[in-house]
Amino acid sequence: MATKCLTEENMNIKLKEMKYAVRGDVPIAAERIEKELNSGTSTRPFSEILYCNIGNPHSVGQKAITWYRQVMALVNCTSLLDNPNVGSMFPKDVITRAKEIIGSVKGGTGAYSHSKGIPEFRKHVAEFIHSRDGHSCDPENIYLTGGASQGIEKVLSAVINSPKDAVLIPIPQYPLYSALITLLGGAQVGYYLEEDKGWGFNLESTRAAIAAARTQGLNPRAFCVINPGNPTGQVMSQEDLTAIVQLCKEERLVLLADEVYQENIYTNCKKFVSLKKVVRDLGPDYDSFEMASFHSTSKGIIGECGRRGGYMELVGFSPEVEAHIFKLTCMGLCPNLDGQVLTDLMVKPPVPGSDSYEGYMAERSAIFESLKSKALMLVAALQDIEGVSCQPAEGAMYAFPSIHLPAGAIAAAKAKSQAPDLFYCLALLEETGICCVPGSGFLQVEGTYHFRTTFLPPEEKLKAAMTRFKDFHAAFTAKYS
């Protein structure tokens, strides 16, 4: 048999080195077990996999909000508007909004748009940001994107120019960041969040991390913030955000603000504050501050991950740099149109008094209250288990509990060349059907062990899963003690 032209030995080494734990060893094993369950020959003590590894709300039962789907139906199938009964099939405001969107989409949703996205949609995003922050926003600074990830990749592609160019990321972090930094050939520098302080930000240790990176010959170029946190679920205070902006200005770092969970705030003690607002509140001295912020239709209350909608706002970048980011954007021709339409609907929802408003708000409220209830229930259940501790899930869609692993389990993991929390999560999956992501995939303080779990599945399934988890943890600890 002839040798392949492209082999693992001669392929891009950065792609080989890149890791993405959210769809790593545990989810791959879950798919294998799911096939076994579906074959009807399984003798396992569970009948389905409970996927808690990824923030994919609709895949585990969250319902689509009616108003979004109604407008999109008319926008994608414009012939429905010619039906004489359309007024009895769709609310009046849905028909009006669909016609407005159709008028903005030249050639329909099957045609390419401007590479930054449809101008009218970008204008609506700018109005949303202005309303949220109390500061103006230029639609020309808005890029519609295929989810937040696409925008983050574009900005990091512009930032990383050599193997010594470093990007600061929170530890624990979302694996997209470490994966992209590896793929783009840069260096990652972690700033550690303080678990015992609710995953709080520590300015002094972050300064020390920057200084240490420079001592090692690295060139820190950018600073990433995830607020609310993923995987940690904390909501950052305006004081900490202000300190980060000031630090970035002092250290000449481009700031990346990942704010896709801005609607997912479950604590009454905190509220979301955007980094764009923080920058503008600091006054004229920060007018040229370089920052990119990101939002998405995949999270929040919408949860439409498959639509791949979102936006990024670029502020303070030189025209020359932004021209190159635009060039990179043009390579993809345009963001997908369904995602663009959904982003427009996200930032410009039904208004009070419209036909759809009350139903829309009722559906949103039901989804939000369910998420809030499940966040509280899950953390309380985890806290009730000996050998497990969990900080409050103030926001986002995840809990990130710490687990105590006996020495025997750590030794057994080492014998299999596995991280101890990966070994634990694989055993959890095999014995309970619960699919989580080991903390080692998000990075963590040396000698500590965690896993990330969503609280997205239906509440009754989560409660049953927590009972299985409690029994599993006790048996696992006894086995390896």
pLDDT tens track for 252-295: 999 999 999 999 999 999 999 999 999 999 999 999 999 999 99
Output the DSSP codes for 173-238: --HHHHHHHHHTT-EEEEEE-BGGGTSB--HHHHHHHHHHHHHTT-EEEEEEEESS-TTT-----H
How large is the average pLDDT for residues 162-167?
A: 96
8 A C-beta contact, residue 199 and residue 234: yes
Helix (H, G, I), strand (E, B) or coil at 124: helix
Give the residue carrying structure tokens 């512009």.
158
Angle (nearest 5°) at CA 133 between 254 and 310: 65
Angle (nearest 5°) at CA 140 between 139 and 142: 65
pLDDT at 22: 65
**pLDDT tens figures, 325-344:** 999 999 889 998 999 999 99
**pLDDT tens figures, 97-140:** 999 999 999 888 899 999 999 999 999 999 999 999 999 999 99
Q: Cα separation of 314 and 459, whole Å?
A: 39
**Dihedral pair phi/psi, residue 187, rounded to 5°:** -120, 140
